[in-house]
Structure 1
């Protein structure tokens, strides 16, 4: 019998912040290597009793293509897609293998539903993948593949992609969305502004409220780019938001569990969800 895997959304930190000393870069206080945020990821598997999957599929905020694209590498390099950090941050390693068979399942599932999907066997795993997962799975012993977002940032297109992937969860594949609950920081140590708390309330209610049916939740998410309060401030572009709502679609719009929540840098909402 196949193991049923949950779907996870992880807020993935600020560049490689989870490996930085706050004494060296104080602006990343709360997202540094000794932070509560980093500790949460280190203990996630044990705390929430996650079963070891056969493979991991990651949808990261940091890969956009004109056409949906899946990474078919059998062996991964890392793509250090961040700037102006100490030299050692460009020497981080996470020697995880690829999951080309799972990648081709992804391609087949999408194409069966009329969604064009290309293969890419060259691109390295970006920091939305290796920065959080190096903490969650430090042994790098679970094959990983990655699926891109679309450059058009259309909510409906991304939900269709996500809905096509649900059966992978029944095949012992852990699907992880990697982004941020809000993608706008401010003054370190300052309290969150009203716009940020209003967006947080909407997000929490939309994703976790048991009184919403799956159809009702989908309707709210479909209109979110226009109706979610202050979303244009919380997400000036939607690339960090789309992996989160795609997790809901993969989980068939069932209610999620909010497993970690904190504001950092004034309005940067560091939240993780388990679907």
Structure 2
């Protein structure tokens, strides 16, 4: 059975910048992602990714056979808009995902034109540079309701027995104004990351904690808008009741960020 993961996907294409201080801010996370595949006990048959950069009215699967890359970032050098990552899509997995969602009473939709956003291709290009595992992206549901996304994850749990690696790609800290305060003490960021590192471990209480995440200390300091937190709900839901583990803990632009493995 495949574990599920919530990982931090970094700041745009920073892993692919020329060496310098901006890239160095992400060194810890880059090293973790580079070593990720070696920690898996078995090679995934395919990868299902929920990114913090795609919301739809209904959960939507990208059914393209070979999606292009969506360079949904601004202000980076020209060469970062020439990146390639030619992994195949996974239309057959899309059918299975919709089947599981439908059985759980979750209406879904398809999109065959959207490219993979940087929440997909940036971390996966570092994690699986040979691009030889089929990938399917699933959108979040507009409204970003934690309970709904936990339910989506629970519906997808059978995929883990089918060799599918489920990845929530977001950011444990995603406050752009806060990032601008590099080097300054940030008690809210520290408090929220500490809460995550405790609350994510207990499978018996984790779902309830996530449903009420806004009550956690420092929650809105770390997540003014929760789009980058909701992929965590799907990853956790797909291993509901199972123990969680801190898979990564480090710093990015002076802020604490953590990633988790479930099941």
What is the TM-score with the length of structure 1 in the denominator?
A: 0.90
Give the gaps of 5 or more residues in structure 1.
none
**What is the root-mean-square deviation in Å for CA atoms of aligned residues?**
1.5
Residue equivalent to 2:50: 59
Residue aligning to 1:230: 218
The question of 1:172 aligning with 2:160 is answered: no
The residue that corresponds to 2:209 in the other structure is 220
What SS does the corresponding residue of 1:83 show, helix, strand or coil?
A: coil
Equivalent of 2:91 in 96, 100, 104? 100
Provide TM-score, normalisation by structure 2. Answer: 0.94
2:2 equivalent to 1:5: yes
List runs of 5+ in structure 2 lacking aligned partners: none
Shift of 1:218: 1.7
- Rate the CA distance shift 1:237–1:253 in 2: closer, same or farther, 3 A: farther
Equivalent residue runs for 1:1-275 within 5 Å: 4-23=1-20, 26-31=21-26, 35-46=27-38, 48-184=39-175, 185-187=178-180, 190=183, 192-208=185-201, 212-214=202-204, 216-225=205-214, 227-267=215-255, 269-275=256-262
Cα deviation for residue 207 of structure 1 reads: 0.4
SS in 1 for 2:51: strand
**TM-superposed deviation, 1:232:** 1.3
Distance 1:59 1:127 in 2: 11
In 2: Cα distance, 1:203 partner to 1:130 partner: 25
Distance 1:203 1:116 in 2: 30
Q: How many residue pairs get matched? A: 260
Q: CA deviation at 1:169?
A: 0.4
Q: For each residue in 1:196-245, what CA deviation from the matched residue of structure 2 results, as whole angstroms up to 9, or x when unmatched?
A: 1111111111002xxx452x2222111113x1112111111111111112
